[in-house]
Amino acid sequence: MKLHRLLFIISSLFTFSAYAAEFKSVDEAAKKLSAYTVADIDGDAKRLKENQELKIDQMFNDLEKTEKFLRKNNLTEDLAHEMERVSLITFIHDPTTFAIDLILPVYQKNRIIFEKAAQKLHPYDRNLLMEILKSKDKAETDNG
């Protein structure tokens, strides 16, 4: 019984450290984000029923970690594209577009890179993403 507890504590410590770890390079961040697909978000309904951690939360966490990493590092076009792509995937279940709130500070500093990276997206996705980014950016300063 004690061994089980010990194993649980060790595994939870590892899980926590993996969650808390920050990205060390742009490539690492891009690689992590590129692993997410639309199939992940489709599986969230099943995960919710089974009380498992949702993939959408993992995506939000990774976007947040990327934003923190980019406070001291430079954004590349590839990483911007991955951030945009993952944000779009989260839109499927999240109409509040919370992902945009997470990446908005990066966009405000790197508008041109974001716009270039968006060229790789499907035109429909590109228009939707850029419209929301611009609108939320404007809403921050507007007195609506």
Which residues are near another protein by CB under 8 A?
38, 42, 44-45, 48, 54, 56-57, 60, 85, 88-101, 104, 119-125, 128, 131-132, 135-136, 139-144
Whole-angstrom distance, CA of residue 8 vs CA of residue 15: 10
What minimum distance in Å lies between the beta carbon of 108 and another protein? 11
What minimum distance in Å lies between the beta carbon of 48 and another protein? 6
Whole-angstrom distance, CA of residue 59 vs CA of residue 84: 12
Q: How far is CA 30 from the centre of its chain?
A: 10
Comparison of 58 and 76: residue with beta carbon closer to another protein: 58
Whole-angstrom distance, CA of residue 124 vs CA of residue 144: 27
Comparison of 5 and 46: residue with beta carbon closer to another protein: 46
